[in-house]
Amino acid sequence: MKKLLIAAVVASLSATTLVAANDAFAQTASSTTATKKPVVKKKARAPAPKHRLIKRKPAKTVAKTDPVLPGSVLWSCEDGLSFDLKGDMKRDQIVTVHWANKNYNLPRESTTTGADRFHDAATGLDLVVIPTKAMLFSDHDDSRLADECKTAEMMQGAPAPTQSNALQKSGS
């Protein structure tokens, strides 16, 4: 009988503890729901009048061209690209290339192939000129920036104004 009495007392105590715990939990839950921030509704935009709805035509792609440097030669490349070269490739040790709205001073590099190469390691810009065309490279990501670049004279059949072509003409 003592065991039954002890079990009843423990059960009643645990029931009151559970009720108290549930009340405390309910108060906590209601206090957190009461502190929620009010939701601000945004005003809906009025639809535009029909007379203002104009379908736009797709924009035409414009070839990338930079302004010409004074005293420079324009080299037109495939894909509508171009760059300006200031300096005499036949004799100058440094030429200026205007590419992507920047001027790059490229010093001459010696080659064993006879091509004229102007390369600046700091910027990574590399200009290689062979008798039929010029190519512009980027060392930083190993990409060809422009290819099949020619001057107006080269498009008429003249060879590139390179140092090796100048030496061949003077030697003949």
Tokens representing 43? 């005003």
Amino acid present at 108: R
Q: Rounded to the nearest 5°, which phi and psi values hold at 146?
A: -150, 145
Residue spans of alpha helices (H) in the chain? 2-34, 152-155, 163-171
pLDDT tens per residue, the chain (172 residues)?
Answer: 677 667 666 666 565 554 555 555 555 555 555 556 666 666 666 665 555 444 544 544 444 544 556 688 999 999 999 999 999 988 899 999 999 999 999 999 999 988 999 999 999 999 999 999 999 999 989 899 999 999 999 999 998 888 765 545 555 5
pTM: 0.57
